[in-house]
Chain A
Amino acid sequence: MAYSDKVIDHYNNPRNVGTLDKSKANVGTGLVGAPECGDVMRLQIEVDENQVITDAKFKTFGCGSAIASSSLATEWLKGKTVDEALSIDNMEIVEELALPPVKIHCSVLAEDAIKSAINDYRVKNGLPALELNNSHH
């Protein structure tokens, strides 16, 4: 399988690999996927009092496209408000990384991880969890 230059770049130089303190109230953690499926993504956001995401970290067990999708997601998340982050669509990731059709599910996983991290943050801060009806492509 030929990977795009952008996927290779994120794979070789992943941005924001790491772990945030998940016990903090302003940190949201999303853990999606399953080991048997061959992909597990953990994405974390740290949010300031203005609802702006100041930091984002990921760790991914998965193929190069899954690693690149989550790495790219953390780049995009930083500086966005939580509401803005909610509108990140997996197809934007597909386009940016030039993922082939068989790798679309890797981007879906990244979108799921973002939403799941935001929900974790919301629930921790007394907000209702959002319905994650997956409108994936």
Chain B
Amino acid sequence: MLTLPIYLDNNATTPLDPRVLDAMLPYMTTMFGNAASRNHAFGWQAEEAVDYAREQIASLINCSPKEIIFTSGATESDNLALKGVFEMYASKGNHIITATTEHKAVLDACKHIEKLGGKVTYLPVNAEGLIDLQELEAAITDKTILIAIMYANNEVGVIQPVREISKIAKKNGILFFTDATQAVGKIPVDVEADGIDLMAFSAHKMYGPKGVGALYVRRKNPRVKVTAQMDGGGHERGMRSGTLNVPGIVGLGKACELAKQEMEADTARISAMRDRLEKELLTLEESYVNGSREHRLPHVSNISFKYVEGEGLMMGVKDLAVSSGSACTSASLEPSYVLKALGLSDDLAHSSLRFGLSRFTTDEEIDFAINHVKEAVTKLREMSPLWEMFKEGIDLNSIEWAEH
């Protein structure tokens, strides 16, 4: 039996794995201690649980447990990495290189840094969503302290050439920070092999709880430090004060352990479903996959259906929980800046849907989704004057539109 609506928005957030919940529950009830309480068993229990979680996480991303700084999520980790490096390395320089398709948490932290006198270069991406490594090298100056490029994009799933980027950073003596929120737990991420100095990620994108994440901060070759952005009791080696969210951290740890055990099998199953969904939806005329299909997360597909409008499409696929590249809530429409950065026209950006599958997605759900989307697109096209013109061979650019 299918339960509607079907959840296919797993890049926004994932359901909590019941096994993660089971691991967390005792730390919300009987084992409620403060991990910083050194004088009694409640505190020791909590500290032990946090240390165990650090090991589970470290084992997934191949780092030392000491290199994990717990935060409230990837937004905070992004802010801490960018602002913390900017402050800590002020004597070395003030220039940061990032890309236009980064998450808002990175882009807005960069905007903040610009207000503080920092210089930020926003690299463009090509139609595949990838940055150009030569442009990256060309952007480096003697004031560059940080390269901040995401591991995988949240809207199109495109994976950046992380190893090549880190080589360039290393060669130039620049730190490399990556927002790996969409990648950790989904594809192999190895901070050593990948040459990462700082890395943000979040529990709720990998079947863990919301409100907890981490920043990996390298301790050797080189030893990296960030200036705390939250002052207080000096937790997390002074880089992030605040009583630790023990149940959340236990959940993040368990989620990492499960990801490590099940990644290979999950990926095989999920990518087969994703590929089937994509193949079927591409049988609709004038539908296009956005972003590189080769360098892409296994569980995401972002497709534009030309000549149907995004919000109307969302209404037509009401039995699916998906995201659209459209934000048409008023007369002024703002299509997804990520899709625009890939060079999509506004109308193609508006008519896109992002499908994000998970460990819990079933073949039956994918069958339903295929039919539901096909029906909605077909119906809306029958109602669309643009589709009619397209079918009659009229060039839409030749029409003088009365903008309102």
Contact = CB atoms under 8 A, between A and B. Distances in A.
B386 interface: yes
B404 A108 contact: yes
A60 B403 CA distance: 15
B312 A37 contact: no
A4 B353 CA distance: 24
Contacts of A64: 311-312, 315
A9 to B, nearest CB: 12
A40 interface: yes
B382 A60 contact: no
B309 A105 contact: no
A33 interface: yes
Interface in B303-350: 307-312, 315-316, 326, 328-331, 333, 345-347, 350
A108 B403 CA distance: 12
A42 B333 contact: no
B215 to A, nearest CB: 35
17 contacts: A19-B388, A34-B403, A35-B346, A35-B401, A37-B333, A38-B310, A38-B326, A38-B347, A59-B388, A60-B385, A61-B307, A61-B309, A63-B312, A66-B312, A67-B312, A105-B331, A109-B404
Nearest to A105: B331
A59 B312 contact: no
Pick from B307, B309, B329, B403 the residue with the most CB of A within 10 Å. Answer: B309
A interface: dominant SS: mixed
Contacts of A112: 402, 404
B404 A32 contact: yes
Contact of A17 (B316, B328, B347, B383): B383
Contacts of A17: 382-383
B404 A38 contact: no
Interface in A8-67: 11, 14, 17, 19, 31-42, 59-64, 66-67
A3 interface: yes
A102 interface: yes
Nearest to B399: A31
B141 interface: no
Given A19-B388, A38-B347, A42-B385, A62 B402 contact: no
* Interface size grouping (class) on chain B: 20 to 34
Given A11-B315, A31-B402, A61-B308, 13 more contacts: A34-B403, A35-B347, A36-B403, A37-B333, A38-B326, A39-B309, A40-B385, A40-B386, A61-B385, A62-B309, A62-B311, A63-B315, A102-B330
B15 to A, nearest CB: 24
Interface residues of A, number: 32
Contacts of A19: 388
A1 interface: yes
A14 B350 CA distance: 22
A37 B403 contact: yes
A8 to B, nearest CB: 8
Contacts of A62: 309, 311-312
B329 A1 contact: yes
B384 A60 contact: yes
A63 B308 CA distance: 9
Contacts of A108: 404
A10 to B, nearest CB: 11
A100 B25 CA distance: 42
B268 interface: no
Contacts of B385: 31, 40-42, 59-61
Pick from A32, A37, A61, A112 the residue with the most CB of B within 10 Å. Answer: A61
Contacts of A31: 385, 399, 402
B133 interface: no
Contacts of A67: 312, 383
Interface string A52-86: 00000001111110110000000000000000000
B348 to A, nearest CB: 10
Nearest to A32: B402
Contacts of A37: 331, 333, 403-404
Contacts of B346: 35-36, 38
A14 B316 CA distance: 13
Contact of A14 (B315, B383, B401): B383
Contacts of B311: 38, 62-64
B88 interface: no
Contacts of B329: 1, 102
